[in-house]
Chain A
Amino acid sequence: MTSDSQAILEIKDLSVNYGVIAAVKQLNLHIRPGEIVALIGTNGSGKTSALRSISGLNKSIQGQIRFEGQEITKLDPHKIVERGISQVPEGRGVFPDLTVLENLKLGAYVRGDKAGIAADIQGMFELFPRLEERKKQLAGTMSGGEQQMLAIARALMARPKLLLLDEPSMGLAPLIVKEIFAAIRKVNEEGVSVLLVEQNATMALAAAHRGYVMETGSIVVEGEAAELRNNDVVKSVYLGIG
């Protein structure tokens, strides 16, 4: 593919095995700078395994993952964050016994510029005003939607070039989901590339530029988001139309 050479992230023939179970089989995927790419699929189709592999959390993987032209396959997770990839994990993963502010500061763990960190915290409060109201509160005491906002803000505190989002809409009220997706688009407009893993195909394909559909570990359909929205398989299985 000609686009591969300019991709910010490129995954080639990625396979993930848990014992005898193959969670991901020969996955190929790329993200161009500035894109939002949706990876949709049902529960258990291997989306999270793929995402964990990018972040270095899966060590028993085959294939190649390249970021900005350099191989990052099997690097330690903290080194991958240093390279510029942040992940908002499934279930948000906020630190429950730390305050909102402490969570945000930990997001900037790889950075040393105090002034820049302070400015970015203010930036996050503008993106999600609710976080400012709750900055002294323990993260574990907040609602699911607020925790999701915190998880995204915290990931952005590392100033990533690529943001990985695992099911940001999971378990949230439609109004909150809208707010979260608006924030994701805004972040993307500011230049952060996004890989969005979702079961909520409608929201994901509305926000994304391109998309991949995953089924039992493999990509079954890929294309522009607009194309996918009109694809018959996607329509019937994931969008519940027709």
Chain B
Amino acid sequence: MLLQQLTNGLTIGMIYALIALGYTMVYGILKIVNFAHGDIFMMGSFLGLFFMKELDLPLYLAFLLSAVVTSGIGILIERFAYRPLRMADRIVPLISALGVSTFLISLAQKIWGTEMRPFPTAFGSRTYTLGSITFSEIQILILILSFILMLGLHLFVTKTKTGTAMRATSMSLTNAALMGINTNRMISLAFGIGSALAACAGIMVGIYYNAVYPTMGYMAGINAFTAAVLGGIGSIPGAMLGGVLLGLVETLGGAYISTQYKSVISFAILIIVLLIRPSGILGKKDINKV
């Protein structure tokens, strides 16, 4: 029972981590919370569904194409909803983010309707047993694909020139620019990568719960935001850790207390972290750049 719950918690935790990375990468550079990120995740899910159902493409192509299109959406959002407000007070892009969120939900409702849609794939129904734990096929996909994506991101930001430049940009926009780094391009890149990861998470969630609907980004977004704050917003390893921890706590709480308390748990964690340690587990206390 416990092992099974841990497995389930890890599965949903990996999803939270993937979405949380988008929040944290954007916050790391621009110090704004992209509250439309949950809805970018939703668009990714719908686009995956579209590519599979309407265009009859195989699952891996649905992942790939949805990631590409969704990252384009993320980049456009930054370009038109945030960049013109770069010099404005921090509350202004926040309001813009809420506008984008409403826009994306309405757009999805207009195109795909308001009702819940199933994800039509034979994939995911089969199960495997390992000792006392039962894995569904989709759980295995989530665990493996999320791990690969996060490992890939980690290698990108630590080992490549562009990734190092992105980390430098998140430490200081000005000093990065003085290195000859095109910081606007780094910002676009952060939005693009974050959105692509969210799209992959969106498709996996769609299959896992066999449901895709326009407002699905709301709770997923809040949970992932909580994960990012828990791990330390701005920190990439923090988002990964925070996602997994939140998934575990939420699932164990749901199993041993009551499933009705799932959301209570994540909101309570958000409030407690913000009150006690706003910099999160791996986050730094606002380092003064001397």
Chain B residues closer than 8 Å to A55, beta-carbon distance: 178
Does residue B84 face the partner (Cβ distance < 8 Å to A)?
no
Chain B residues closer than 8 Å to A93, beta-carbon distance: 172, 174-175, 178, 289
Does residue A96 face the partner (Cβ distance < 8 Å to B)?
yes
Q: Smallest Cβ distance from A77 to chain B, in angstroms? A: 4
11 further A-B pairs in the complex, CB-CB below 8 A; given A105-B161, A106-B168: A55-B178, A77-B183, A89-B174, A93-B172, A95-B168, A95-B171, A106-B176, A106-B179, A106-B181, A109-B161, A155-B178
- Write 23 A-B pairs (CB below 8 A) sorted by A numbering: A57-B177, A77-B174, A77-B177, A77-B178, A78-B181, A81-B178, A89-B174, A89-B175, A89-B178, A91-B290, A95-B167, A95-B175, A96-B171, A97-B171, A102-B164, A105-B161, A106-B176, A106-B179, A107-B179, A109-B165, A110-B179, A154-B179, A158-B179
Cα(A6)–Cα(B181), bound, Å: 30
Does residue A86 face the partner (Cβ distance < 8 Å to B)?
yes
Q: Smallest Cβ distance from A85 to chain B, in angstroms? A: 10
Does residue B152 face the partner (Cβ distance < 8 Å to A)?
no
Chain A residues closer than 8 Å to B171, beta-carbon distance: 95-98
A76 touches which of B168, B179, B182 (Cβ 8 Å) = B182
Cα(A189)–Cα(B176), bound, Å: 28
Query: What are the interface flags for A73-99 relative to B under an 8 Å C-beta threshold, 1 for contact and 0 otherwise?
Result: 000111001100011010111111110
Q: Smallest Cβ distance from A72 to chain B, in angstroms? A: 14
Q: Smallest Cβ distance from B189 to chain A, in angstroms? A: 14
Known: A97-B171, A98-B168. A109 touches B177 (CB 8 A): no
On chain A, the number of residues with a Cβ less than 8 Å from chain B's Cβ atoms is 29
**Nearest neighbor of B287 in chain A, beta-carbon distance:** A96
**Nearest neighbor of A55 in chain B, beta-carbon distance:** B178
Cα(A110)–Cα(B182), bound, Å: 10
Q: Smallest Cβ distance from A129 to chain B, in angstroms? A: 23
Cα(A82)–Cα(B171), bound, Å: 21
Does residue A140 face the partner (Cβ distance < 8 Å to B)?
yes
Interface of B: prevailing SS: helix
Does residue B131 face the partner (Cβ distance < 8 Å to A)?
no
B: interface residue count bin: 20 to 34
Residues of chain A touching chain B, judged by Cβ–Cβ distance below 8 Å, are: 55-57, 76-78, 81-82, 86-87, 89, 91-98, 102, 105-107, 109-110, 140, 154-155, 158
Q: Which 7 A-B pairs have the closest CB atoms?
A: A81-B180, A77-B177, A110-B180, A93-B175, A78-B180, A78-B182, A109-B179
Contact B175 A140, beta carbon cutoff 8 Å: no
Cα(A154)–Cα(B183), bound, Å: 18
**Nearest neighbor of A82 in chain B, beta-carbon distance:** B180
Cα(A28)–Cα(B183), bound, Å: 30
Query: What are the interface flags for B150-176 relative to A under an 8 Å C-beta threshold, 1 for contact and 0 otherwise?
Result: 000000000001001101100110111
Contact B287 A140, beta carbon cutoff 8 Å: yes
Cα(A19)–Cα(B287), bound, Å: 28
Q: Which of B63-120 contact A (CB under 8 A)?
A: none
Chain A residues closer than 8 Å to B177, beta-carbon distance: 56-57, 76-78
Q: Smallest Cβ distance from A89 to chain B, in angstroms? A: 6
**Nearest neighbor of A52 in chain B, beta-carbon distance:** B174
Chain A residues closer than 8 Å to B174, beta-carbon distance: 57, 77, 89, 93
Chain A residues closer than 8 Å to B180, beta-carbon distance: 77-78, 81-82, 109-110, 158
Known: A96-B289, A106-B168. A87 touches B181 (CB 8 A): no
Cα(A105)–Cα(B182), bound, Å: 16
